[in-house]
Structure 1
Amino acid sequence: MYVVEQDFTNLSDGGSVEVTMGLQPDHGSENTEDTNTSPAKKKARVIKLGKRTLRSPVWKTFNKLTTIFEDGKSRAQCKDCKKLVIDDSHHGTSNMNRHLKTCPGQTGGLLSVSEFCSQNFDLVVFHSLLVKVIIKHNLPFSFSEYEGIRALFAYIYPDIKSPCRNTIKVCVLRMFKNEKQRLHNLLGSVEGRICLTLDLWTSQRTDGYLALAAHFVDKDWKLHKRILSFCYMPHPHTGIALSEKINALVTEWGIEKKLFSITLDNASSNISFVCILKNQLNFRSLLVMNGDLFHMRCCAHVLNLIVQDGLKEIDHLVIEIRECIKYIKGSKARKLKFYECVRQWDKIMKISKFFGYFYEVTCLFSGTKYLTSNLFFPKVFVIQLQIKAAMNDTESFMNKMGTYMYMKFEKYWLEYSLILAIAIILDPRYKLHFADWAYTKLHGVNSVEFTKVNDKLNDLFSVYLEKLPHLDNSNTPLNSVPNHQTESVDVLFEVT
């Protein structure tokens, strides 16, 4: 292809111009003719402009080319990027105007999406993001081998080589090791104590699994929750097997000297396991106060057990209600009649209100994005009062239900968790006088239960004084209750 270049921007007076083909090859054009063809055999094309005037502003940026193209269309060349654009009579100047919007010379050097991706693409960053996507969305390692995904990657960056499943696997394992080391360093920097939670369950395939999580506060007073292990736990889940497994895990993470408590459900194997583990840690003097505060029961699990015992007493009523609902939904007339009867169902309303307290507390205890230790004492205090009120109710069904529920309550919470009672004392919204008021409400003035909590608080404070000798080791007793008007607590904490 041979080109004669001529600037037509000054042809404002019309006229006829003839331009014949020269013999200079255009090496920058896209459709170059075969160089073996003799230029002398090319038939020159003559373009007659007649009285046409090129007035469009685009001609300040483009040069009109007289070229022999096989498609019979003329071209214009951008003065900035040297790109050829069709400018025949059918398209007019539309192609040139569109080009000016993306031309680097006209957009201040801005690149198109494909050019930008090509110049800023980093294969290492791409692999890292791909691995994070696969982990976050639980995708298979073969995700990067999907035909559609590879087509998408190739569109963004034509020269990309999508990693195979084995490469993804290696990257995931490498990322796991790096994150594990970061967590190990974070746990090593913790200056306070670490609390653990443990859960065990069996899948539908009868495979056992174990999950161990750590809860701690860093040096910036930020609360952290980190999963230390999620692994296969073969049966049987005996106390000895669990103690060996957990002891190995805490040693691996280097936190055996920083443990404060562990929270478990009420399985019999867990009780024997925590006793064995506590003895092992006490043998090396690693626990605070010889492990008196080490074992914690899962509050949500205990509440569920209490509610289940209460529901057993009214199980037949629940079944009858379900059957009634099925019958009522059979027709519109039955629904209208049902709405009239609902107003007379005092028992259902009383039961619903009673179990509403348990539902609210269970939802609060099951929270994962906020602290729950400061919720235990005031909420369990309300639960105990409600159960006692049910035992004294005039309705026989409420009396029986409350009696069964109180038996379960006494089994697990006859004595409130001492450390969680101390937590409410450290809460500036409640302090010591609230614990005194609550125990007085339940057990009378100067109760043994409140004295036990107060003594344990003094013992715990003494332990921390030994760990921090730079503090003023004053002999001021902690058992002096502030002279607050505890009557105001009844107003702020309404109890029925």
Structure 2
Amino acid sequence: MSLKHEEDDDCSISKPIEHGLSTPPTVSGSTNMRLPSHKKRKNRSEAWNHFIQLEPKSDKRAQCKYCDILIRYEKGTTSMRNHVLRCPNNPNKEVNKRQKVSASSTTDGNINSLSYGRFDQELCQEELLKMFVEAELPFRFVEHVAFRRYLNALQPRFKIPSRHTLSQNIVTLWNARKVHLKNFLSQHCQRVCLTTDTWTSPQNQSYMCLTAHFIDNDWNLYKKILNFRQVISHTGEAIAKFVESCLHEWGLSRVLTLTVDYATSNDTRIQHLKQRLLSWNNLVLKGEYIHMRSCAHILSLIVSSGLKEINKYVLRIRAAVKYIRSSPSRFMKFKECVGKQNIEHKGHICLDVETRWDSTYLMLDAAFKHKKAFDEFGFHDTEYANELGKGIGLPSYEDWGYVESILPFLSIFYEATLRISGTSYVTSNMYMLEVFGIWNGINHLLKSNGTSSATYKMAEKMKKNM
């Protein structure tokens, strides 16, 4: 939980001190030199982030924001800082104890000495594990000479683990976090909505991920990945048994929905799992609405079907982008062409993944903004026209004109996919609004007089698949 610090207004505004003298004081030895007007200095101590200065200020008392106790600060804020470290209501009490650092400064502002608090081997060990997990670093990196030299310079007393010890400690940390999450689910999760997906890696190995979305007792939305495992089979029965074992492992039985891709093979999986959940007698309305289809995947199928109708226009632009991005020297030459054409777009052209329509949209959008650079590039690279001419040819003015006409239409799908693919907010309430917006966009394209035959076929096929 983040803690917001508030500063008292009187502490943050400096006011001149009134001396009560008829004439300003002078410096000895100079009757013309006057002392500069003095101003109250800001309360610079970090202790004021945890205290509220009370009125009247002459009383020299401050109130703790966590326990409301009153502390006097006549001789400084030391007593206030000490109270923050031991205050029972301070949410950051343990962190402050471990990370307490005091510095003494010279007259010119440079720090000449540092005194650190108690060294905590366990805390450093845990933070090291988190770093390797969050940064996805290889375990062998902990044994690198440069990394060990750096840690020794920071804290010579820290015992650097080996890569085998590191891997074992990460598993231990995972088990501890799993127990903590399991207890949290048992206390705060009444109904859980599951999302599952399977795919095959380039090494021809199948994996499956199971994600849980739920609302706790305080109405906060949570998303937790429960399992990420390798699966042997993609059959409906095998996937259903996998989900069932995960639910048993986490102690979850009250399932509200299960969201999967819009594929016929998933119907069999849902039926197997539904029968099992019915035996637990924990389904709502006997599981009539347990099967939820991913709306983002449905939109992807609709757009992909429409893009097949304009594939000939996309192929030439994709080939041109692929040629330029296949060599660092070609890409550098292309950026020089971008500079010559004074193209202000900061992004670069990117190659798409043919099975992902959103990447195709981003490729077309970036390429269209650099279309003048493509023409300029043809004058500086003779192989560009020769190599592409042997195949499907260079992007033509017709291709660029067609891309310009469909980009606003495809952006409707792209922005809708971004909005309904969020994980940190509820998206079901936006689904129908996005569907209506896409439906109106397709109808507008079909009724437009300037719509080309290829664009009309694309929109017609999208409307049929909706």
Offset from partner CA, 1:423-470 (integer Å, 9 cap, x none): xxxxxxxxxxxxxxxxxxxxxxxxxxxxxxxxxxxxxxxxxxxxxxxx
Query: Which residue of the partner structure matches residue 196 of structure 2?
Result: 198
* Higher alpha-carbon Rg: 1
Unaligned runs of 5+ in 2: 1-102, 321-370, 381-396
CA contact (8 A) 1:145 1:164 kept: yes
Query: Which residue of the partner structure matches residue 148 of structure 1?
Result: 146
Compute the displacement of 1:215 (Å).
0.6
Structure 2 residue corresponding to 1:371, chosen from 423, 426, 433: 426
CA contact (8 A) 2:195 2:259 kept: yes
1:255 equivalent to 2:256? Answer no
Q: Which amino acid aligns with 1:376?
A: Y
Structure 2 residue corresponding to 1:352, chosen from 403, 407, 415: 407
Q: Which amino acid aligns with 1:283?
A: S
SS in 2 for 1:228: strand
CA contact (8 A) 2:209 2:228 kept: yes
Structure 2 residue corresponding to 1:290, chosen from 264, 286, 289: 286
CA contact (8 A) 1:213 1:228 kept: yes
Q: 1:122 to 1:405 in 2, by over 3 A?
A: same
SS in 2 for 1:230: strand
Taking the aligned partners of 1:282 and 1:142, their CA distance within structure 2 comes to 48
Query: Which residue of the partner structure matches residue 177 of structure 2?
Result: 179
Give the RMSD, CA atoms, in angstroms. 3.2
SS in 1 for 2:378: coil
TM-score scaled by length of structure 1: 0.53
CA contact (8 A) 1:306 1:408 kept: yes
Structure 2 residue corresponding to 1:266, chosen from 262, 269, 292: 262
Q: Which amino acid aligns with 1:173?
A: V
The equivalences for 1:129-144 within 5 A come to 129-144=127-142
Query: Which residue of the partner structure matches residue 243 of structure 1?
Result: 240
Offset from partner CA, 1:4-38 (integer Å, 9 cap, x none): xxxxxxxxxxxxxxxxxxxxxxxxxxxxxxxxxxx
Compute the displacement of 1:327 (Å).
5.3
Taking the aligned partners of 2:154 and 2:377, their CA distance within structure 1 comes to 56
CA contact (8 A) 2:445 2:456 kept: yes
Using the TM superposition, name which of 380-389 and 290-299 deviates more.
380-389
Taking the aligned partners of 1:298 and 1:146, their CA distance within structure 2 comes to 44
Query: Which residue of the partner structure matches residue 480 of structure 1?
Result: none
SS in 1 for 2:286: helix
Compute the displacement of 1:290 (Å).
1.6
Bigger RCO (CA 8 Å, 6+ sep): 2
Q: 1:202 to 1:103 in 2, by over 3 A?
A: closer
Q: Which amino acid aligns with 2:241?
A: E
Query: Which residue of the partner structure matches residue 349 of structure 2?
Result: none
Q: Which amino acid aligns with 1:176?
A: W
CA contact (8 A) 2:198 2:208 kept: yes
Q: 1:311 to 1:153 in 2, by over 3 A?
A: closer
Query: Which residue of the partner structure matches residue 300 of structure 1?
Result: 296
Taking the aligned partners of 2:167 and 2:404, their CA distance within structure 1 comes to 57
Offset from partner CA, 1:192-241 (integer Å, 9 cap, x none): 3211111111111001111111011111211111000011112x310010
CA contact (8 A) 1:310 1:402 kept: yes
Taking the aligned partners of 2:319 and 2:141, their CA distance within structure 1 comes to 49
Q: 1:263 to 1:391 in 2, by over 3 A?
A: same
Q: Which amino acid aligns with 2:432?
A: F
CA contact (8 A) 1:390 1:399 kept: yes
CA contact (8 A) 2:205 2:230 kept: yes
Q: 1:398 to 1:147 in 2, by over 3 A?
A: closer
Compute the displacement of 1:139 (Å).
2.1
Q: 1:112 to 1:349 in 2, by over 3 A?
A: closer
CA contact (8 A) 2:208 2:231 kept: yes
Query: Which residue of the partner structure matches residue 276 of structure 2?
Result: 280
CA contact (8 A) 1:391 1:401 kept: no
CA contact (8 A) 1:392 1:399 kept: no
- What is the aligned residue count? 292
Taking the aligned partners of 2:251 and 2:195, their CA distance within structure 1 comes to 17
The equivalences for 1:69-468 within 5 A come to 112-113=113-114, 116-117=115-116, 120-234=118-232, 236-256=233-253, 258-320=254-316, 329-331=377-379, 345=401, 348-394=403-449, 395-409=452-466
Q: 1:216 to 1:147 in 2, by over 3 A?
A: same
Taking the aligned partners of 1:298 and 1:126, their CA distance within structure 2 comes to 42
Compute the displacement of 1:305 (Å).
0.8
SS in 1 for 2:124: helix
SS in 2 for 1:172: helix
Taking the aligned partners of 2:252 and 2:412, their CA distance within structure 1 comes to 38
Q: 1:181 to 1:314 in 2, by over 3 A?
A: same
CA contact (8 A) 1:282 1:290 kept: yes
Taking the aligned partners of 1:270 and 1:285, their CA distance within structure 2 comes to 22
SS in 1 for 2:209: strand
Offset from partner CA, 1:97-128 (integer Å, 9 cap, x none): xxxxx999x9xxx9944xx45x6212222222
Q: Which amino acid aligns with 2:427?
A: T
Q: 1:211 to 1:323 in 2, by over 3 A?
A: closer
Q: 1:272 to 1:152 in 2, by over 3 A?
A: same
Taking the aligned partners of 1:132 and 1:149, their CA distance within structure 2 comes to 16
Q: Which amino acid aligns with 1:227?
A: I
SS in 2 for 1:120: coil
CA contact (8 A) 1:390 1:401 kept: no
Using the TM superposition, name which of 155-164 and 220-229 deviates more.
155-164
Q: 1:245 to 1:386 in 2, by over 3 A?
A: same
Taking the aligned partners of 1:111 and 1:167, their CA distance within structure 2 comes to 38
Offset from partner CA, 1:368-412 (integer Å, 9 cap, x none): 333322221100111123233444455533432222112221xxx
Q: Which amino acid aligns with 1:247?
A: E
Offset from partner CA, 1:53-72 (integer Å, 9 cap, x none): xxxxxxxxxxxxxxxxxxxx
CA contact (8 A) 2:198 2:209 kept: yes
TM-score scaled by length of structure 2: 0.56
Q: 1:349 to 1:285 in 2, by over 3 A?
A: same
CA contact (8 A) 2:223 2:423 kept: no
The equivalences for 1:7-46 within 5 A come to none
Unaligned runs of 5+ in 1: 1-101, 333-340, 410-496
Q: 1:377 to 1:103 in 2, by over 3 A?
A: closer
